[in-house]
Amino acid sequence: MKFTNGFWMVKDEFKADYVRDLLDVEETEDEVRFYGPYQKINGRGDTLNVGLMTYTITAPMPDVLGIRMQNHMGNYVKSPKFELTADMGRKPVVEELSLSFGDKAACEFIGKEWSFTSGRLSLHLTTGNPCMSFEAEGKQLTRIPAKTSGMMHRNDGRNFIVSGLNLGVGELVYGLGERFTAMVKNGQSVEMWNEDGGTASEISYKNIPFYYTTGGYGVFVNHPGRVGFEVASEKVETVQFSVEDEEMEYFVIYGPTPKEIITKYTAMTGRPALPPEWSFGLWLTTSFTTNYDEETVTGFIEGFEKRNIPLDVFHFDCFWMKRFQWCDFAWDPAMFPDPKGMLQRLHDRGLHICVWINPYIAQKSPLFKEGMDAGYLVRRPDGRVWQWDLWQAGMALVDFTNPDAYEWYQGKLRTLLEMGVDAFKTDFGERIPTDVVWHDGSDPQKMHNYYTHLYNGCVFDLLTEYRGEGEACLFARSATAGGQQFPVHWGGDSTSQYVSMAETLRAGLSLMDSGFGFWSHDIGGFEDDGSADLYKRWVAFGLLSSHSRLHGSSSYRVPWNYDEEACDVVRFFANLKKKLMPYIQGLAQEAHESGVPVLRPMHMVFPDDPACAYLDQQYMLGDRLLVAPVFSPDGKQKFYLPEGSWTHLLDGSKAEGGRYMEGTYDYFSLPLYVKDGGDDPLAALIS
C-alpha cells in the first residue's frame, strides 16, 4: 500500500507516526528489546502523549535476524500464524560498542552504538537516531532509513504498521510468490492476497511474503495476512512492507548466494516433501467440463498404449462427481457404476490415479447437512452458515480450524484411498471470506491466505499417513508461506496462446524464487483449444518441467485431437524425460534436503553473470541442463548461454557460452544444452 505523495507529503487520508528515535536497549535472559518513540526525546516532557514502537530482536538460526515490531500489543490477534521450524526464542549476540561519531547508516547521529549478531549477520543501531543497518562480512547489506518504520493511521480508524529496507544501486528483487508479472519485481506494487485470477493478471493463487535480492540477502515477513509490498515503487530506493495490524515481524536472511538464501528460508518455513517417483511421469486428465465415463477414459489410455506413449498417472477432474454436488466425494453412479473395479483395472495397466477435490460443500451435496449439523462449516458472526453461489450453488466452506472437521474431511478422502485413489488435486482454496467466525477464533483477515495451508496440509497428512513417506502427492493450486512442504503445485488457469505460455513460465520462476521445489502447468493451456503448433511447443516445455500434465477446460488434451505429429512429439519428450529421470530424481532429493528447486531461474544458478538477471524465457533444470522453450510459431528462439562449454543434449553440437544465440527448431528440438564438466547422469547422455 502506498501512504505518501512523493518524498515529502503523506496522503491526506493518513497520519504518519514514524519512529523518530531509538532508546533503552534492554537484554534479559529471554530476549533483547529496544524502543522507538514517534518523536525525538530530548527531555522528560517529551515522553508524554507519544506513541512507542517496541522492537524485539531474535536470532532463530545462524545468519538470520528477526525484528518484531509492536505498537499496541493488546490488539494483536495471534492466530493463525506460520509454523516455523527455527528456534524462534534464540537471542542474538549483543554488544555495546563505543560512542560513535560517524555516518554509519547514512544518517547523522551521536549516541551509543549497539550490534546484534547471528552468525555472519549483524544489525547495528545507535541510540538517538531511528536508522538501523544490516551488515555481513564487513559490508552493509541494507538499512532501515529514517521515515520508513512506524504506524500509518487512516482517517477511517484503520491502522497500518510499516517498515522497509533500502536497495542499492542496481539491486534487483525476486520472489513474492507465483507472479505472472515481470520476474524482476522492482517497480511493482504487490499485495499478498490469494485470488483466483488466471495467469494474465497481477493477482495470484500463491502469495508468499518472501523475497531476496542481488544484494545477498532475503526478507521474510512473518505475517499470514495481507502484506503490501512496494518494491522500489512508492520509494524507488526502498522495498516497503506493511500490514493492517498492530504487530509485524520480519526476518533478514544472509546468503549471500541465492541458493544459500533459499536453503535458510526453507529451513525456517519447511522443506518440500519428496514426491513419489511415479509422479514425475506424464499425467493425463479428463479435462474440466468434458463428458466422460469409464469407456471414454479407457479409450484415452488405449490410445496412448497403441501409440507407445508412456503414461504414468490418470486424473479424473470435477465431473467424476455428480453435477451441483461438489464436493460429496462420491462417484457419479450414472457414469461410473463400478468405481472400485474401474480403479483396479487402471492400476492393472500400471497407472496411478488422481481425483479432483476442493474444500467447498455445495448445498445439494448430502454432506452439507451433515457438516452443518456437526458445526464443521464456517459460519457468519450471527451463527448462520456462510454460503454463496459463486462456483457451486449454496456452497459452504469446511472449517479446518475445527479438529473434528479436519478429521471428518480426511475420513471422506480415506474412503477414496481405500477404493484405490493414489493422489488428490486440491483445487481452489483462494475464495475465502473475511466476514466469518472461525472455530478457533482466528483473525478472518489472516485466515484468508492461511486457509490453503490448512487445506493442503490436511490432505497431505492423510496421504502420508495412508501411503507412507515418499508416496504422498498433491496437485495443488493455492499456497502461502510453507506450502512448499506439500508438493506439487501447478500454475493455474492459462489460456492457449504463446503469451500465456510465457507468463506461466515467469510465474513458475517466481515461485521457485519463493522456496518451492516442484512445479507444473497445464500443457497446451487451460482455456480454449489452442493450435496444434502451440500444443507441440508446450509439450516440450511441460515434459522438461519437474512435473508434467496434459489438461484443459472444455476439450480432451490427448495429442491425436491435434494431429498425429503431436502424438510423435509427446512420445519423444515423454521418453526423453524417462531418460532424464536419474538426473531429475537427484534434483528432487536435493530439493527435499536443501530447498533448492528442481527448476531454477538463470540468476539462481549464475548469480554473478549480469546477463542472467532478467532472463525469463529460459531456465535451468538443476545446475547443468539449460532449457529454452520455443515461444513462436516460426520455431525461432533466442537464448543466452552463460560462460563455459556446452553440448546440445539432442544433437551433440558444441557451443561456447558467454553469448546470446538464436536458432530455428522443429517440434522435436529446442535449445537444450548441458554444461560440460559434470559427473552425473547427464554425462552418459552426451557421451
Q: What residues are annotated to the active site? A: 427, 430, 493
Grid coordinates representing 354? 488422481
Contact call for residues 255 and 264 (beta carbons, < 8 A): yes
Contact call for residues 446 and 224 (beta carbons, < 8 A): yes
Contact call for residues 177 and 208 (beta carbons, < 8 A): yes
229-232 long-range contacts, CB within 8 A, separation 24+: 229/176, 229/185, 229/188, 229/189, 229/190, 229/191, 229/192, 230/1, 230/2, 230/164, 230/189, 231/173, 231/176, 231/185, 231/186, 231/187, 231/188, 231/189, 231/190, 232/167, 232/173, 232/186, 232/187
Residue found by looking up cell 514502537 in the block: 53
Identify the DSSP state of 254: E
Residues 437/441/446/448 CA torsion (nearest 10 deg): -40
Q: What CA–CA distance (Å, rounded) separates 184 from 173?
A: 6
Residue found by looking up cell 512429439 in the block: 569
Q: What CA–CA distance (Å, rounded) separates 258 from 262?
A: 6
Grid coordinates representing 665? 527448431
Q: What CA–CA distance (Å, rounded) separates 448 from 628?
A: 36
Grid coordinates representing 627? 532449457
Residue found by looking up cell 541458493 in the block: 259
Contact call for residues 247 and 227 (beta carbons, < 8 A): no
